[in-house]
Structure 1
């Protein structure tokens, strides 16, 4: 049947035949209906079975109460059960800073999470709150008190009236609410205003009485001129924060212990010690342990010389925490010190972990060793380790003076919770009591301070002017072991020896202008002769502090002919070295740095700086501790608290680049590096030698560096983006609160009375200087008014032309309305 015949049918084609056009349209326009998309034709298909009962399951709300038992205090018989409410119900790490909040997931137990709240810092009261709880309880006017301009925008949305009447407004619901609902916060604020009313009135009366004398004598215009000169009374040069209430600083939060008096009956005071040592403890160590400051969870600050035994206090704190089944965190400023303390404490305590940027070992241990930046991250991220934390030990806390990282120590000290005891170890600094008073005032807990009077191993300082050959034994003493006086004779002899050699060189090769620098060959000859001099005088091992990584590598490469080890030591070094690098890939074992360091260590020479691979630095540290590295070229980071003393310390140069320019070492830097000289129990004195390659340093520079006072602890607190974002995320502690508790703000508070006295003196000086000129200002204001009148009046009169023509002056009688009299003259 053709199409024409089908069209001629009265009712179209029969329904049994498919519509080809419709099928083609669906095939082209609806590809999702193809059989390939039918999930029932897939190879694996599990049909769903409806389960309506699953809709009945829901998470139960946490219990808000618990049962408490009441017993008879005499017999212990159970009397009754009481239902008491639970505190911090529903508190988690995402919404609470309480220690009673629910613990987080196990994978966040150590490092925490960026979404967690930190635990509430100790010593910070509720006045520092930004208003999180108060804003929730206060009433919000949704009609008149809504913001229309978002933060950071200049313009916003203006909601204009739509001229529509709300017929529900006359209903008296709001009146009923005002009659029945009582806003307790408003009552408290009103009561506070009433309590402070008398104080405000007395201040206002005093201010009016002081200004009354000036106001009575001067006109309004003169008073405005004086107000620009005289400062206001409420200007105090302190850090500009919000109007939060300042903490009282009258209380003494630090106490210095006297180590001159011995501790009596030490064995009776502590019959069973948490840790014992095979040697006799020093007096300052017995002070801390004998009076049980650590056992009573007091904050302590040990400011002692190098090799004085500060680590004993830290070890006893770790032993106490292990006895109490709690945790201790040991923080250090550099990774080298962390690695060394991990090896030492691992042998002593066993359960010790290490968390640095390079290694993460046993993070669930009772004693964790880490850098201060990692501890700050754990505090901000709400780590669960803080719950069980008993002691935090800050080694080398004088690193707070560092301009780049010093603010980290202040943040950590502020953020530590109240139940954590602080143990601070530092080199000798002049203002130990000031720093301890700030820490005690911040944590609201007294800090006990001990400072040692002298080094256990005295130092002798020398100048070395030799250049090899016959002059290799030229070493001159400039500071004896008493450390109190500068030997000028030794300094003059060193200058003469250097000048005589330079004059001989000029006579041989002719005069040369400017400073003469040694060639690589001359420097190699000088080092070879110097090492031979130290070896013959039994001054090995030696640490050569070279304040440049490039010079460290150059000096070690130039000593190819120097060999300081025996055959037995060589075999042990090679065996130990190959054992340590066996975990490296075969290709990594052939790196140039690995091959070069292996040859240097075999001959007893080591290199230690930040450019060395971490595993190689650790090998050098361990071999140096065992006495197999006789000569170590290192940068100043090696001196930061690392317990690796040598018999001799050598300074390749006393000038360093600090990021801005070349400068001489500061006393604290020099003392820190020179303190590595002298091994306790092995050496009677330590030897410090300064090499004079070019010229002998200036006498004043040597005196200030060797005999000068160490740098005082100064605040390097600054606002960083990380701290601002973390505080904004928490919203419970304001940025002003952190600034208020910083060491910098404490310095301003202590000087506030001094500033107030100086301000009063300035105010009295200004007031006395203006007492003789008050009359002058009054007359000057009248003259100014008269000049303004004279500018307007003369043009209104006809006689002004004749007066001006005859070059005479006129005067005004009884104000502006009087005419000029041309027959009289007026001279001003």
Structure 2
């Protein structure tokens, strides 16, 4: 029989369980390694100095101002860093993290949250010294001092003093009776007597000083309400833009920037408020000149040697504003997902999401920030990104001045009132009531050929023209109407060729054609191969500019299909602009359109989001779009935003808006009236909780998710009535207190009976002790 190769199971288990000292965990020699340490005493001489925790303040004579002494006071920001303090006086962050901040930094204190009170270090009162522990654990007694507080008594001395102070054998009953006279009042409330004593002491304390103060006229500053704590009033102030500003030059003799044209009334009113560092909400029509207010704020901050942040909802608007402001102010930076240019500039242009990230990450730019400009504030209605605007407005520090630029919306005062109540500052609202360039709205029923001039006016200066709508319907035969058929590429090509020929004939170029499909934009531009809208001089200029811009790309990247295609169509004066275009090509298209070299631009609705590139004519390929859930007609705000691109101020007397009626399908009259004449959508809160917001707030102990929710625009109505609710609560509490004083509730009746019985017992005891004392 061969010997066993493995150990017996029972023996192996017994050895393993009964001999734990043989386990590998005890063999530390194989698990640990030791490195010999080399002593270096010189390192003890190098140390970092601790920050100063105190500073000196002087005492002055209030009459002469002479320094009478000094006192040492603590510094609240001593040792404060970006990781442990929300104060603006904390130590600056490293230079590489000063702009964008760091996820481990805490944000600066938001201006919408109440500043916490700094509690001074509590001093031990002599009256509570008996509550301090004096006997260490394991000892019979503690240290005992003599009456002078310095001499330490030994145990033998303490015994002698204890014997000498023992209670005498003779009892003084009279003293006991006098002490027990106060026992009857042990159940009575002492609050009223204590209040009477305190008021008596205060009245009799300093009679001479009070007489002097009564005679001396002194300004009572405590009764003057400070500007930043207005209560009970409206926080939004609507300025009147119908009356001219007569004393503008006298109030601002030296403007931060001078414009080569006469300012409108709403621009002057906004600039006056900027000079006083007030919050401003400018709600004006498209192309009315809201950018002038932003430019003056940037110039004012550069004069003050502070910083300004300009936020926009889309990258296209950020890129365009960077080019515009760069030519005017020079020291301008851009921070987007695609580009980071000159991040230390005095004026930074960025998207709102990046500003939110900077606030949460404690960017040091916030210290020098004077103005934050929010362009296209009506974008707060966006379901996906609207909550970002509310977060940023809530998280901004108190010293930052907010400038809101928006299209005309019905509830500007309501939104401004919420912002003012949140930051406890007045917000001045400036609005316009008419467009600087009126719009003419048309229906186009042509399909090329002999019908290419079928354009009918249906709206003139907000006046509906029924005759034009009737003519448009009469121009379409019943055979042409086919709602279930789609336009073929050949039909689209014929329609657009005829429309462009009609617009060119009537001098209505350049034109922006809004199409709610990226693929359709590309197809329309590619199908118009036979269309040439530029001269030979313009072709040369476009080619040179295009080649100069793409020269920064690598040689293989210069020949990718999109760049080759765009070079060809741009040369013929046709452009495409949507989110699927390369960033560099999109920027080339924007710059060429600004120079007037692109005559026909196919774009999606993002092009209308604040991009200051007006055209003479705007064409709607359709007035129905898919919003991610269903097909629907355009909202009045969306239509007005895109149609507002028509009409260049100073160049055109009127703007032209054309709606294409493909396949003879004319929109219903009610739908057109609602879209063209309807009121824009009101600003509605889209605030919602997100994981990133919750995690960012939980990092900071002083901020809470509930506090952020309470200050959102969604809770504006509740906050507006908070003052009245508090007054009602105080009134109800006072009524309950008066009722409780008048009648005692049933559950307190046993205590009343005990009080009466105890009083009877103590009175009887007092009588007995008094009689015994007389007998003695």
TM over 0.5: yes
CA distance in 1, matches of 2:622, 2:544: 35
- Aligned residue number for residue 492 of structure 1: 470
- Note the 1:348-367 alignment, pairs <5 A: 348-367=328-347
Q: 1:607 to 1:74 in 2, by over 3 A?
A: farther
How far is 1:170 from its partner? Answer: 13
1:352 deviates by: 0.2
Q: 2:86 aligns with which of 85, 94, 97?
A: 97
Q: Are the aligned partners of 1:249 and 1:441 in contact in 2 as well (CA < 8 Å)?
A: no
1:628 aligns with 2:597: yes
Does the Cα contact within 8 Å between 1:541 and 1:630 map onto a contact in 2?
A: yes
Aligned to 1:794: none
Deviation at 1:169, TM superposition (A): 11
What SS does the corresponding residue of 2:350 show, helix, strand or coil?
A: strand
Picking from 647, 672, 681, the partner of 1:702 is 672
Distance 2:676 2:587 in 1: 31
Question: Are 1:531 and 2:500 counterparts?
Answer: yes
| Greater mean deviation of Cα atoms: 610-619 or 84-93 | 84-93
**Take 2:634 and 2:403, find their aligned partners in 1: how far apart are those partners?**
29
Map of 1:456 onto structure 2: 436
**1:260 maps to 2:238:** no
Q: Deviations over 1:193-249 (max 9, x none)?
A: x99xxxxxxxxxxxxxxxxxxxxxxxxxxxxxxxxxxxxxxxxxxxxxxxxxxx998
Q: What is the number of equivalent residue pairs in this alignment?
A: 600
Aligned residue for 1:293, secondary structure, equals: helix
Task: Choose from 713, 716, 719 the match for 2:689.
Answer: 719
Q: Which residue matches 2:261? A: 279
Q: Greater shift after overlay, 593-602 or 692-701?
A: 692-701
Distance in 2, matches of 1:420 and 1:514, equals 55
Counterpart position of 1:586: 555
Matched, 1:394 2:398: no
1:63 matches 2:43? no
Shift of 1:633: 0.3
Provide Cα deviations, 1:459-494, integer angstroms capped at 9, x if missing partner: 0000000000000000010101x21x2212211211
Q: How far apart are 1:61 and its partner, in Å?
A: 2.3
What pairs with 1:413-452 in structure 2 (closer than 5 Å)? 413-452=393-432
| SS at 2:353 equivalent | helix
- Distance change (3 Å), C-alpha of 1:473 and 1:54: same
CA spacing shift, 1:252–1:516, aligned 2, 3 Å: same
Cα distance in 1 for partners of 2:483, 2:605 equals 29
CA–CA distance in structure 2, aligned partners of residues 692 and 322 of structure 1? 51
Q: Does residue 382 of structure 1 match 2:352?
A: no
1:294 alignment partner, SS class: helix
User: Secondary structure of the residue that 2:240 maps to in structure 1?
Assistant: coil
Give the Cα separation in 2 of the matches to 1:284 and 1:644: 22
Q: What displacement does 1:752 show? A: 8.8
Aligned mate of 2:486, from 501, 517, 520: 517
Q: 1:670 aligns with which of 621, 639, 642?
A: 639
In 1: Cα distance, 2:599 partner to 2:706 partner: 53
Q: Compare 518-527 and 746-755 and name the one that shifted more.
A: 746-755
Alpha-carbon shift at residue 747 of structure 1 (Å): 3.3
> Residue 336 in 1 paired to residue 316 in 2?
yes
Structure 1 residue 72: deviation in Å?
Answer: 9.3
In the TM superposition, residue 63 of structure 1 has moved relative to its aligned partner by 1.2
| More deviation, 450-459/515-524 | 515-524
* In structure 2, distance between residues paired with 1:248 and 1:740: 19
Trace 1:70-469 onto structure 2 (pairs within 5 A). Answer: 83-125=72-114, 250-289=232-271, 292-469=272-449
Map of 2:173 onto structure 1: none
- Shift of the 557–81 alpha-carbon distance from structure 1 to 2, 3 Å rule, reads same
Distance 1:123 1:94 in 2: 21
Deviations 1:302-357 (A, max 9, x none): 00001111111111110110000000000000000000000000000000000000
Deviation at 1:78? 7.9
Match of 1:607, SS state, is strand
1:547 corresponds to 2:519: no
- What CA RMSD, in Å, does the superposition of the two structures yield over aligned residues? 3.3
The answer to whether the Cα contact below 8 Å between 2:309 and 2:371 also exists between their aligned partners in 1 is yes
- Say whether the 8 Å CA contact 2:112–2:395 is kept in structure 1: no
The one-character-per-residue Cα deviations of 1:431-483 (angstroms, maximum 9, x if unpaired) are 00000000000010000001101000000000000000000000010101x21
CA distance in 2, matches of 1:418, 1:351: 25
- Whether the 8 Å contact between 1:322 and 1:366 is mirrored in structure 2 is yes
Unaligned 5+ runs, structure 2: 1-28, 124-135, 143-190, 193-228, 727-776
Q: Distance in 2 between matches of 1:702 and 1:172?
A: 96
Q: 1:541 to 1:713 in 2, by over 3 A?
A: same
Distance 1:429 1:754, change over 3 A: farther
Q: Deviations over 1:700-753 (max 9, x none)?
A: 111110000000000000000000000111121111100110000113455899
* CA shift for structure 1 position 124: 1.2
How far, CA to CA, are the matches of 2:536 and 2:725 in structure 1? Answer: 70
Is 2:536 the counterpart of 1:567? Answer: yes
Unpaired runs of 5+ in structure 1? Answer: 1-30, 40-46, 138-166, 174-193, 196-246, 504-512, 757-828
Asked if 1:745 corresponds to 2:723, the answer is no
Change (3 A) 1:105 1:646: same
Q: Distance in 2 between matches of 1:501 and 1:529?
A: 21
Distance 1:133 1:64, change over 3 A: closer
Q: Deviation string for 1:135-158 (max 9, x for gaps)?
A: x99xxxxxxxxxxxxxxxxxxxxx
Whole-Å separation in 1 of the counterparts to 2:487 and 2:615: 28
Residue 317 of structure 2 contacts residue 611 of structure 2 at CA under 8 Å; is this kept in 1?
yes
Give the 3-state SS of the residue equivalent to 1:529 in structure 2: helix
TM-score, structure 2 normalization: 0.73
In the alignment, the residues of structure 2 paired with residue 427 and residue 552 of structure 1 have an alpha-carbon distance, to the nearest angstrom, of 26
The question of whether the paired residues in 2 share the 8 Å contact of 1:254 and 1:446 is answered with yes
Alpha-carbon distance between aligned partners in 2 of 1:750 and 1:72, rounded to the nearest angstrom: 46
CA contact (8 A) 2:512 2:618 kept: yes
* Aligned equivalents of 1:78, 1:750: Cα separation in 2: 48
Counterpart-to-counterpart distance in 1, 2:536 and 2:522: 25
Q: 1:52 aligns with which of 24, 41, 53?
A: 41
For the 8 Å contact 2:618–2:645, the answer to whether it is kept is yes
Counterpart in the other structure of 1:680: 649
Q: d(CA) in 2 for partners of 1:722 and 1:579?
A: 42
Q: CA deviation at 1:76?
A: 9.7
Question: How many Å separate the matches in 1 of 2:62 and 2:245?
Answer: 42
CA distance in 1, matches of 2:617, 2:532: 18
Instruction: Report if the CA contact (8 A) 2:312-2:376 is conserved.
Output: yes
Tell me the TM-score normalized by structure 1: 0.69
Q: Structure 2: how far apart are the matches of 1:299 and 1:753?
A: 23
Instruction: Please give the alpha-carbon distance, in whole angstroms, between the structure 2 residues aligned to 1:427 and 1:514.
Output: 35
How far, CA to CA, are the matches of 1:325 and 1:119 in structure 2? 21
Change (3 A) 1:628 1:545: same
- Distance in 1 (CA, whole Å) between partners of 2:650 and 2:500 is 24
> CA 1:753/1:441 → structure 2, altered by over 3 Å: closer, same or farther?
closer
Shift of residue 382, structure 1, vs aligned partner = 0.2
SS in 2 for 1:96: coil
1:491 to 1:172, Cα distance in 2 relative to 1, 3 A: farther
Aligned partner of residue 502 in structure 1, secondary structure: coil
Cα 1:545/1:59, change in 2 over 3 Å: same
1:502 CA displacement: 1.6
Query: What's the counterpart of residue 5 of structure 2?
Result: none
* Separation in 1, partners of 2:140, 2:405: 71
